[in-house]
Structure 1
């Protein structure tokens, strides 16, 4: 089980994030600086992260737990935007792909890529037509602050 837990375990620590977020309504990108903290929970069988903006306000949290029967089960909560997403995750080399459905029925595909000890990239895509087409909603470049 150690190798399965290492998939997200390598992200444990604090990360400085340069965030680009696309507004579907406005058709524009906005930029921000974020802090993303990952840590072990429930006796090392899961990992939780908290994403915080530059004012110190928590934007949301993700809980990831390992289930030996089903693999990674992942849930993202963002009360400020009334978002709740249930996902599954699979590792592929230096990438982790997550797929799921938001509470409103919109499909999402998230990807951690180019994961190294001191940096990673995260991208999020959305589909409004059940996965026929996808649009790029978010891009984050993370640099490790602590381990």
Structure 2
């Protein structure tokens, strides 16, 4: 019997969420699709905010037990016209009742690990940044066609928080 091996994409990307945890998978699953995003980032040294635009693509992966995203920016030098800036993998951990999140932006030297839980009308992701400081990434509102996201950092082990990034996006797929 000959079985053809699937491509990497076919093996990774899932057609939908696992049926084992439908409510839990909906938390990040509601973001599956493609998004046109605008954001601003704080340079903590200069105090200046920088505006940016990017495309965010989110898919179910690992037989629907996780959600992975990629952040793309326009790049005329790349064959596709886009450069992949970062990726995050969000895996639901049924034993912990929470999502484990790993974020990677290799060109920027950013590697963050967080745990995500529901919070008010969105999702809170708490963890540690590459520099060891506590970080908090909040989806503060998610609708079928839009989301807002905030990135926070703490310089005093979580007593106070500094807003360092804000993104808003609209669904394009």
Decide: shared fold, TM above 0.5: yes
How many Å separate the matches in 2 of 1:21 and 1:103? Answer: 17
Matched, 1:79 2:106: yes
Structure with the higher fraction of residues in strand conformation: 1
Q: CA RMSD in A?
A: 1.1
How far apart, in 1, do the equivalents of 2:123 and 2:169 lie? 15
- The Cα of 1:128 is off from its aligned counterpart by 2.0
Give the CA deviation at 1:9. 0.3
Residue 20, structure 1, aligned to residue 47, structure 2: no
Offset of 1:91 from its aligned partner?
A: 1.2
- Once residues 119 and 130 of structure 2 are traced to their aligned partners in structure 1, the CA distance between those partners, rounded to angstroms, is 27
Q: Which residue of 1 is the match for residue 85 of structure 2?
A: 59
Query: Which residue pairs with 2:156 in the alignment?
Result: 129
Give the TM-score, by structure 2 length: 0.81
What secondary structure is seen at the aligned counterpart in 2 of 1:69?
A: coil
Of 24, 28, 31, which aligns to 1:11? 31
Q: Which digits, 9 at most, give the CA deviation of each residue in 1:2-47, with x for residues without a partner?
A: 1000000000000000111111112100111100010010000000
Q: Which runs of 4+ in 1 moved over 4 A?
A: none
**Greater RCO structure (CA 8 Å; 6+ sep):** 1
Structure 1: give runs of 5+ residues left out of the alignment.
none
Secondary structure at the counterpart of residue 151 of structure 2: strand
- In the TM superposition, what whole-angstrom CA distance separates every residue of 1:72-92 from its partner, at most 9, and x where no partner exists? 111111111111111000113
- Cα shift at 1:93: 4.8
Residues 81-106 of structure 1, C-alpha deviations (whole Å, 9 max, x = no match) = 11111100011353001100123211
**Which residue, 17, 22, 25 being the options, matches 1:2?**
22
Gaps of 5+ in 2: 1-20, 76-81
Aligned equivalents of 1:92, 1:129: Cα separation in 2? 22
Paired positions, count: 146
2:35 is paired with a residue whose SS is strand
Distance 2:74 2:138 in 1: 23
**Partner secondary structure for residue 24 of structure 1:** coil
CA distance in 2, matches of 1:24, 1:53: 23
TM superposition score normalised by structure 1: 0.95
